[in-house]
Chain A
Amino acid sequence: MEQKREAIVTDVEQKSYSGFFFVLAGILALITLWGIWNETITRRPWKQYQRRFFKMEYEKAQAEYENLIKENKVSSTKAVNYVNNPEYRKLLKEFDQAQVDLDELAQKRQFIKSDADEAYYEYKHSLHLAMEQGLSEEEAEAKVKNKKQKVQELEDKLIKEFDPKIVELTKKVGELKKKKDEYEKAGSLTEEELKIAGQLDQLKKKMTEMKMKRPTLMPYQVIINDMKPFDMIVDRCMACHLVIDKPGYEEEYENPWKTHPRRDVLLVKHPVENFGCTPCHDGQGRALSVEVAHNPKHYWDNPMLEVKGTKYVEAKCIRCHNQTLEIPEGSAITQAKMMFQDFGCFGCHKVEGLEEQWAADLTKIRKVAPTLRGIGSKVNPDWIVRWIQNPRSYLPKTRMPNFRLSEQQAKDIAAYLLASEHDHEPATTATTAMAMASAGGSDAAVQLAALKSTAPTSKSPKSPKSSREEGEELIKTVGCLGCHTINGVGGSFAPDLSHVGSKVQKEHLYGWIRNPKDHNPNTPMPSFRFIDSQVESVVLYLMSLRDPNAPAPLEVSPVVDGNPDEGANLIRKYGCFGCHDIPGFENESRIAPDLTEFAKKKPEELDFGDQVHIEHSWKGWTLGKLADPRRYATERIESKMPDFYLTEEEAKTLSILLKSFNGEKMTPKYIRNLSENEIQVEKGRRAIKQYNCRGCHEIENRGGDIRAVVAINLQLEGKSEQDAQLLAPTYSPPMLTGEGAKVKPDWLFSFLKSPTPIRPWLKLRMPTFRFSDQEASRIAAHFASLSNVEFPFIEPYEVSMTKEDIAAVQKLMSKDYFDCFSCHQQGEKKPEGPEEGWAPDLMLANKRLRRDWLIKWLTDPQQLQPGTKMPTFLADSQSGPDDVLSGDEEQQKQVIAAYVLSLGSRGSGLESKSSSKIIKSGKSSKSRGKK
């Protein structure tokens, strides 16, 4: 036995492993437990958020429920409880019992009554039988006596036993019913109470639901697999952000249980199911924990973009919205784009894809600064040196950056610029004249320039009494201050003229003011059609505006003092030709790094130089660079970027655009393409920005800044401050919101090409911008498209009226009625009084106005043009005269509109026609406008 056993037991088994197995089993159990824990809890952190959300919702519903009950105390207890009131219950029971008793008793009585009837029949039947057998009545009666007695007994029973009981019970039932009704009436619900009961019901339902609700096992996720450049987007953000696309969780809620801000626009137009979250916000969409998903630390690849502060999230907008200048919901990125363009960043940096979109038809990206051809005849050499060295010493708000050059370097550049104008072919014929003017210094050249310009013929050649005051008045009143500022008053679109006398040369100014486009075909500066004497006054005034802080004139001209070759080297090095057109630098390429993929740079790819105090992140580097561009320079690494004097805020804004430079192309499907109509609108918007139309006009409810200047002018004319403020809109250029619905596009086209005065009370005048046909039709199309009206050409309206209508309208417009010509001009027929009191020429109406607009105008002019002097004549059914066209205001408007349109039509032969209807014709033809 022993031996056998030994044979089986091996050496290994001689040692006991139970302890070891126990430990292992223990570990396995722990690991299993951990596995379960990990799988269900640790790896599903969203469950916690969901649980908290359900709890929160439950508590909210509960609070609301209790509040509702508290607020509507009486009705709610009534609503819920009167049925359960024990007193009512008891009463109900008693009533039911009494009713049952009564019914039973009545039935019993019915039975007895049947018995009584039967007994009576028996008695009568027996009586009749007996009588038939020949018995006398008395005998028969005696024979059936017992039967009669039975009838009597039964009937007695009915009367004595049942009837009082029934009466009593009926009374009891009646009383109980009355009590019950009282209860029910007191407890029944009004409509309001029913509503509250319904609300309570719903809240109760929600409470139960929220109490029962368990967090989902799988996270809610959005999968998008056709959005390039991503392979596949899996966004699980809504596992925690449960209500991000549900309204109703706005202000008082906290993330992650909060509705997306501006949900009505942002999420309605970009549903989460189709767009996910990370395409706009970045971050790790697949991640399930807060830290990994949001990863705010800068060493993560795609940390979530900032939403507040520096709104980097807006950098994503332009990946799809790349065809418009402005993005309605992206004010920061829109501003950043404007800055990038206005500061001329394109001049030195290339950003692939961007320029093409922005330029879209805008004659390439223009150089943002003025041409320097012929600069020697335009400005003082001294001023050039001062300007190059420190632009802000002359213009505290200029966009020209500071290159931190030494005086000698500035002189070298000036020497090159001044020398080169002789060496190189100037751009236009006008500059030839300019060059001649400066070379010869004679008036003859100026005269030549004047001849070339297309300013209207002057009445008197060179009036001797040109005065500085006249010039000042012209500058301040005709509209120059819509773009330029003088001594703090005016717009900021064009250079500040406060010290322009220290800058420019008088001879140049003559030619420039007469017709700017002759000197620089790309300038947005228009001509104000000044006659010669006015030009002289204006020049006289401008030249008197000198800088009191200007440095002493240079002793030696920079032409002598500077080295042009050195200057050329500096221009090449600093890339001045990026913004300015400089002779000899026509074919240079951009000098600064390509920014196409700048946003992808990791902190370790950025050189922080000796700057140790700057946050080592993309944001830190970029903001540091923008605020002080030479900051990262060391002895070995030179920085050439000039200082744009960006404030911290501006640097932050601009950096949002830089954040969008990642070189990725969005899938075409997701690009927001513009409709034909929107393209027209957008092209016009760009032209409107390019020419700063908003400096004077309010367009799309923005702009019209010149009103401030008008108010000041009105005060100078003697109006009180209060009056001036109130009157300013009336004396400012017309508001152009809704212009498309007002004027005919072909009229607008020709007006833009060659403006003619319309409003005699305005001292401001629409200048001549010398728009190309393309530009003019683009602006006209813009307004038509904005108002969704036909374009491009509307035939003149042909009007025919009946004799009665003509008689009616002549009466309506006569002196005793609306007296239209008290203010309105009619061709050569002018109204009484001074010109400022006149109103537009009605002969223009047919060419200029749309008929539908005219009717609206006659109804409520203030609504279409706030501040207009045109009063309301036919606002409602009481305003017109009763003795014309039987007092029908609508018809009165129709005949006035028809008559006004007939004034300017070709024949104007109203009387010759006799058809009864006014014919409206307004078909568009393709023949014009799109040349």
Chain B
Amino acid sequence: MKKTFMAIMSLISIALVLSWFCSISMAQPGASVLGTVKYGGAPPAPKKLDVTKDMDVCAKEGKTKTSEELVVDSATKGLKYVVVSVTGLDPKYNYKAAPTLAKAPGIDQKGCWFHPHVQIVPAKASMDILNNDGILHNIHTYSKKNKVINKAQPKFKKKMETTFDIPEVVSVKCDVHNWMNAWIIVSEHPYYAVTDEKGAFKLDNVPAGKYKLQYWHETLGAQTADVTVPATGQVKAADFEFKPK
């Protein structure tokens, strides 16, 4: 009698645990959040950066480069490279201690320029650092919570790997070529997006609920706006505008 009871109980508990796992891994389809970010002023002339070193490699496309710190679409005033993220999520949606994440895309040093300028890298996911220039670069991160990396990447090292453990905004520089600059946003959950040339973004599969969306831009700072996400379908976040500084 007792044994049967125990067996039934254990079966039930296994079923419960399994269903809990499923509820997380299958993560309800959720809804998509769409939106656009605009620059609230006359689009400024893009900043020019002088190429001063290693001209044969770095100045192939001209002796100046166009800064990507403020990229505004002249027609729509859409603001590129704004990072939009959901805040106030239940921590259960955070990446677990050892996420089985697909490898992050990585950062490429090509033509003495970081590609891409702004990207999202999940915490604890490994990412590649590539040097396609065949000259000395160094990847120097400036951060408060993550360990600072300043690694030389000479010609013979085409590829290195690194991981960031703690979610935060990391500034990336190359000390050999002082005009090079990029940003890595170490994310704590999957609901982060970067705006495109038109200032548009899309967050997929966001669980239903009321949240604050955070809009971060490297020179214009961070701001928030409310959003209510339905169980399915998609919702359009209110158009967001960054005032010029």
Point out residues on A near B: beta carbons under 8 Å: 720-723, 726-727, 730, 815-819, 822-823, 831-834, 836-837, 861-862, 866-873, 875, 879, 881
Complex interface: chain B residues within 8 A of A871 (CB): 138-140, 150-152, 175
Complex interface: chain A residues within 8 A of B157 (CB): 879
**A872 with B151: in contact, given A721-B221, A817-B156, A881-B156 (CB under 8 Å)?**
yes
Complex interface: chain A residues within 8 A of B29 (CB): none
Among B138, B152, B156, residue most surrounded by chain A Cβ atoms (within 10 Å):
B152
Closest chain A residue to B137, Cβ basis = A871
Interchain CB contact under 8 A, B136 and A822: yes
Q: How far is the CB of B197 from chain A (nearest CB, A)?
A: 21
Q: What is the bound-complex CA distance between A817 and B153, given in angstroms?
A: 9
- Judged by a CB distance under 8 angstroms, whether B53 is at the interface is yes
Interchain CB contact under 8 A, B154 and A817: yes
Interchain CB contact under 8 A, A875 and B151: yes
Q: What is the bound-complex CA distance between A720 and B169, given in angstroms?
A: 13
Q: Which one of B75-83, B117-125, B141-149, B186-194 contacts A? A: B141-149
Q: What is the bound-complex CA distance between A334 and B12, given in angstroms?
A: 66
Interchain CB contact under 8 A, A722 and B169: yes
**A726 with B171: in contact, given A833-B53, A836-B178, A862-B148 (CB under 8 Å)?**
yes
Complex interface: chain B residues within 8 A of A875 (CB): 151
Interchain CB contact under 8 A, B171 and A722: yes
Interchain CB contact under 8 A, A869 and B150: yes
Interchain CB contact under 8 A, B154 and A832: no
Q: How far is the CB of A175 from chain B (nearest CB, A)?
A: 24
Q: How far is the CB of B160 from chain A (nearest CB, A)?
A: 9
Chief secondary structure at chain A's binding surface: loop
Interchain CB contact under 8 A, B140 and A833: no
- Contact count A vs B, C-beta below 8 Å: 84
Q: How far is the CB of B9 from chain A (nearest CB, A)?
A: 18
Interchain CB contact under 8 A, A837 and B178: yes
Complex interface: chain A residues within 8 A of B169 (CB): 722
Closest chain A residue to B175, Cβ basis = A869
Closest chain A residue to B47, Cβ basis = A718
- Chain B 192-226, CB-CB to A under 8 Å as 1, else 0, gives 00000000000000000000000000110100000
Q: What is the bound-complex CA distance between A562 and B156, given in angstroms?
A: 81
Q: How far is the CB of A863 from chain B (nearest CB, A)?
A: 10
Interchain CB contact under 8 A, B52 and A722: no
- Judged by a CB distance under 8 angstroms, whether B155 is at the interface is yes
Interchain CB contact under 8 A, B150 and A872: yes
Complex interface: chain A residues within 8 A of B138 (CB): 871
Known: A816-B156, A822-B53, A834-B178. 5 other contacts (CB 8 A): A823-B175, A868-B150, A869-B175, A870-B150, A881-B154
- Chain B 152-176, CB-CB to A under 8 Å as 1, else 0, gives 1011110000000000010100011
For the complex of A and B, list the 9 residue pairs with the smallest distance between their C-beta atoms, beginning with the closest: A871-B138, A726-B142, A819-B136, A833-B52, A871-B152, A869-B175, A833-B53, A832-B53, A720-B219
Q: What is the bound-complex CA distance between A720 and B242, given in angstroms?
A: 15
Q: What is the bound-complex CA distance between A819 and B134, given in angstroms?
A: 11
Complex interface: chain A residues within 8 A of B139 (CB): 871
Interchain CB contact under 8 A, A818 and B176: no
Closest chain A residue to B55, Cβ basis = A832
Interchain CB contact under 8 A, A867 and B171: no
Find A819's partner among B69, B154, B175 (CB 8 Å cutoff): B154
Q: How far is the CB of A488 from chain B (nearest CB, A)?
A: 21
Q: How far is the CB of A263 from chain B (nearest CB, A)?
A: 34
Closest chain B residue to A720, Cβ basis = B219
Interchain CB contact under 8 A, B54 and A727: no
Complex interface: chain B residues within 8 A of A833 (CB): 52-53, 178
- Judged by a CB distance under 8 angstroms, whether B235 is at the interface is no
Can you pick out 11 interface pairs between chain A and chain B where the beta carbons lie within 8 Å of each other? Answer: A720-B218, A720-B219, A722-B169, A723-B142, A723-B218, A727-B171, A822-B53, A837-B178, A868-B150, A871-B152, A881-B154
Q: What is the bound-complex CA distance between A836 and B55, given in angstroms?
A: 17
Complex interface: chain A residues within 8 A of B154 (CB): 816-819, 873, 881
**A817 with B155: in contact, given A723-B171, A822-B136, A871-B150 (CB under 8 Å)?**
yes
Q: What is the bound-complex CA distance between A726 and B140, given in angstroms?
A: 12
Closest chain A residue to B148, Cβ basis = A862
Q: What is the bound-complex CA distance between A561 and B54, given in angstroms?
A: 72
Complex interface: chain B residues within 8 A of A834 (CB): 52, 178
- Judged by a CB distance under 8 angstroms, whether B31 is at the interface is no
Q: What is the bound-complex CA distance between A881 and B142, given in angstroms?
A: 26
Q: How far is the CB of B234 from chain A (nearest CB, A)?
A: 32
Q: What is the bound-complex CA distance between A722 and B169, given in angstroms?
A: 9
- Judged by a CB distance under 8 angstroms, whether B104 is at the interface is no
Interchain CB contact under 8 A, B155 and A823: no
Q: What is the bound-complex CA distance between A819 and B218, given in angstroms?
A: 31
